[in-house]
C-alpha cells in the first residue's frame, strides 16, 4: 500500500485531556477507488478535501454508507481494534442494501490496521477516550438519474475522541415521526437514516430531551432504538432489548453486550418490546436500569424517558449491570480484562 505522510504531525498540538467528540481529525486518511467493476489498490495520504462534481450521485440519490469503530491502546502501548471483522461484515450488509460494491474483508482489515498503525500516537490513553475510526463509502460517478453509481470511494479517517455522552441521557418516545420500517433501510448504516432523524431530534431537544427513542412505524407502541444507540432495560433482574426486526440497526456493541450478559448468567430477552411493558414496570417499581449501547456511546445510562403522559425518572447511580458492562468493555480495550471471545485485534504501529 502506498503511504505518503505529512511533513509535520499535528498530534503535539492536541489536548488529550479535553477531547470533544468528532471535532479533531488525525493527520492522514486512507482512500481506495472502485472503478471498472473492481477496487483499485488503496493508499494512505495526508488528510485532504475531495473535489466533487455537482452531479455526484451520492449527493442526489444518497448512495453513502459508513461505519463507526474505535481503537484503543493496550497498557503495553499496542494499538487494539474491537471486532474489526464484524464491522467489515456490517459495512458489506449496508453496501448490499444500498446497491453498492462490497469490500473484501481482508482489504477492510488491512486498511483499518494500516491507518490505525500509522496514527497510533493519536490514540488517547485516557479512560473513556479512544481513536474513533470512520470508514465510509460513497458514490463518485457523475450522472443525473436514479441508478446505482458505477464508481465509488472507500475512505477511512480517524478522530481522537472523548466520551460521546458525558452525562446520563434523557429520551422522548417519538409519537409522530418514524425512523425506519421493516423492508426499508433502517438496518443499513446509511446517511439518510441520520438525516431523517435530525428534525425529530431537534423537536425532542426543544422539549428538553437529549434524544429521540424511536417507536414502531405502525402503532408507535413498540420500542426500536435511540438515534445514537441501541437500547436496553433491566426489569426485575432480566435484561430486555428490542429484537432485530428489519428496521433496527445491528449494533455490534449490542450484540457483544448480549453475549457478555448471557455468559454471565443473565436472562436476555431480545424480542418485540412494548413501551407499555416498560411503563408498567416503572409504575410497579421493577424497572431497575435503562442504558444504551453503541460504538460512540459505548454504554450510556438513561435517566429519564417521556413515554406519552408518563415521565419515567430513574437514577443511574443505582445501576449495577450498565457499569459492569462498561467496565468489562473498557477493560478489554486496554488489556486489563481478558478477551475470551477474540474480539480484540492487536495492530502493529507503523
Q: How far apart are CA 338 and CA 328, in angstroms?
A: 9
Q: Which three cell numbers stand for residue 271?
A: 424480542
- Report the residue from 252, 294, 306, 326 that binds ligand COI according to the rule CB under 6 A: 294
Query: Which residue number, 82 or 222, has a Cβ lying nearer to ligand COI?
Result: 82
* Site map (CB under 6 A) of ligand COI, residues 220-239, x = contact: --------x-----------
Q: How far apart are CA 285 and CA 325, in angstroms?
A: 23
Which helix (H) or strand (E) is 118 found in, with range? Answer: helix 105-118
Residue 296, interface with ligand COI (CB under 6 A)?
Answer: yes
Instruction: Kindly state the smallest distance separating residue 115's Cβ from ligand COI, in Å.
Output: 16
Closest to 52 (Cα-Cα) out of 151, 172, 140: 140
Instruction: Kindly state the smallest distance separating residue 189's Cβ from ligand COI, in Å.
Output: 7
The residue written with cell numbers 448504516 in the block is: 189
Q: How far apart are CA 192 and CA 318, in angstroms?
A: 37
78 Cβ contact list (under 8 Å, min separation 6): 346, 347, 349
Q: Which residues within the stretch 155-194 sit at the binding site for ligand COI (CB under 6 A)? A: none
Instruction: Kindly state the smallest distance separating residue 238's Cβ from ligand COI, in Å.
Output: 26
Report yes or no: 290 and 301 within 8 Å, Cβ to Cβ: yes
Query: Which residue number, 279 or 299, has a Cβ lying nearer to ligand COI?
Result: 299
Segment near ligand COI (CB under 6 A), from 2-10, 24-32, 116-124, 293-301?
A: 293-301
Query: Which residue number, 235 or 254, has a Cβ lying nearer to ligand COI?
Result: 254
Residue 200, interface with ligand COI (CB under 6 A)?
Answer: no
Report yes or no: 248 and 224 within 8 Å, Cβ to Cβ: yes
* Site map (CB under 6 A) of ligand COI, residues 44-83, x = contact: ------------------------x---------------
Point out the residue whose Cβ comes nearest to ligand COI. 68
Q: Which residues within the stretch 12-51 sit at the binding site for ligand COI (CB under 6 A)? A: none
The residue written with cell numbers 470511494 in the block is: 153
Query: Which residue number, 57 or 159, has a Cβ lying nearer to ligand COI?
Result: 159
Residue 293, interface with ligand COI (CB under 6 A)?
Answer: no
CA dihedral sign of residues 12, 14, 15, 21: negative
Closest to 260 (Cα-Cα) out of 183, 332, 308, 191: 332
Q: Which three cell numbers stand for residue 116?
A: 490505525
Instruction: Kindly state the smallest distance separating residue 24's Cβ from ligand COI, in Å.
Output: 15
Strand partners, 304: 170, 313
Query: Which residue number, 68 or 242, has a Cβ lying nearer to ligand COI?
Result: 68
The residue written with cell numbers 475531495 in the block is: 50
Residue 197, interface with ligand COI (CB under 6 A)?
Answer: no
- Report the residue from 158, 193, 241, 295 that binds ligand COI according to the rule CB under 6 A: 295
Q: How far apart are CA 74 and CA 91, in angstroms?
A: 26
Alpha helices, H only, the chain: 57-61, 84-97, 105-118, 191-206, 252-263, 275-284, 321-332
Query: Which residue number, 120 or 228, has a Cβ lying nearer to ligand COI?
Result: 228
Query: Which residue number, 92 or 228, has a Cβ lying nearer to ligand COI?
Result: 228
Residue 322, interface with ligand COI (CB under 6 A)?
Answer: no
Contact residues: ligand COI, CB under 6 A = 68, 228, 294-296
Amino acid at each position: 500500500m502506498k503511504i505518503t505522510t505529512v511533513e509535520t504531525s499535528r498530534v503535539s498540538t492536541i489536548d488529550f485531556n479535553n477531547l470533544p467528540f468528532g471535532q479533531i481529525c488525525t493527520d492522514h486518511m486512507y482512500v481506495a477507488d472502485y472503478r471498472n467493476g473492481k477496487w483499485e489498490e488503496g493508499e494512505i495520504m495526508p488528510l485532504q478535501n475531495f473535489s466533487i462534481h455537482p452531479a455526484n450521485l451520492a449527493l442526489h440519490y444518497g448512495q453513502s454508507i459508513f461505519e463507526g469503530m474505535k481503537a484503543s491502546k493496550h497498557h503495553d502501548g499496542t494499538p487494539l481494534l474491537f471486532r474489526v471483522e464484524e464491522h467489515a461484515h456490517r459495512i458489506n450488509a449496508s453496501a448490499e442494501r444500498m446497491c453498492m460494491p462490497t469490500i473484501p474483508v481482508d482489504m477492510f482489515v488491512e486498511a483499518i490496521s494500516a491507518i490505525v498503525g500509522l496514527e497510533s500516537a493519536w490514540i488517547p490513553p485516557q479512560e473513556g477516550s479512544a481513536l474513533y475510526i470512520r470508514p465510509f463509502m460513497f458514490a463518485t460517478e457523475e450522472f443525473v438519474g436514479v441508478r446505482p453509481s458505477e464508481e465509488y470511494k472507500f475512505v477511512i479517517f480517524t478522530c481522537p475522541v472523548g466520551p460521546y455522552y458525558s452525562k446520563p441521557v434523557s429520551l422522548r418516545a417519538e409519537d409522530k415521526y418514524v425512523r425506519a420500517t421493516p423492508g426499508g433501510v433502517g438496518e443499513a448504516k446509511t446517511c439518510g437514516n441520520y438525516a431523517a432523524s435530525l428534525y425529530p431530534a431537534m423537536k425532542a431537544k426543544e422539549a428538553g430531551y437529549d434524544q429521540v427513542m424511536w417507536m414502531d412505524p405502525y402503532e408507535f407502541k413498540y420500542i426500536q432504538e435511540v438515534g445514537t444507540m441501541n437500547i436496553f432495560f433491566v426489569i426485575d433482574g432480566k435484561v430486555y432489548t428490542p429484537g432485530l426486526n428489519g428496521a433496527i440497526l445491528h449494533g455490534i456493541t449490542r450484540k457483544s453486550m448480549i453475549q457478555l450478559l448471557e455468559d454471565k448468567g443473565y436472562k436476555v430477552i431480545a424480542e418485540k418490546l412494548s413501551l407499555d411493558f416498560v411503563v408498567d414496570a416503572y409504575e410497579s417499581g421493577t424497572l431497575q436500569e435503562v442504558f444504551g449501547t453503541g460504538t460512540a456511546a459505548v454504554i450510556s445510562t438513561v435517566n429519564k424517558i417521556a413515554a406519552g403522559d408518563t415521565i419515567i425518572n430513574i437514577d443511574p447511580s443505582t445501576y449495577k449491570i450498565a457499569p459492569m458492562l462498561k467496565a468489562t468493555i473498557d477493560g478489554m480495550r486496554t488489556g486489563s480484562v481478558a478477551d475470551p471471545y477474540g474480539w480484540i485485534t492487536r495492530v502493529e504501529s507503523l
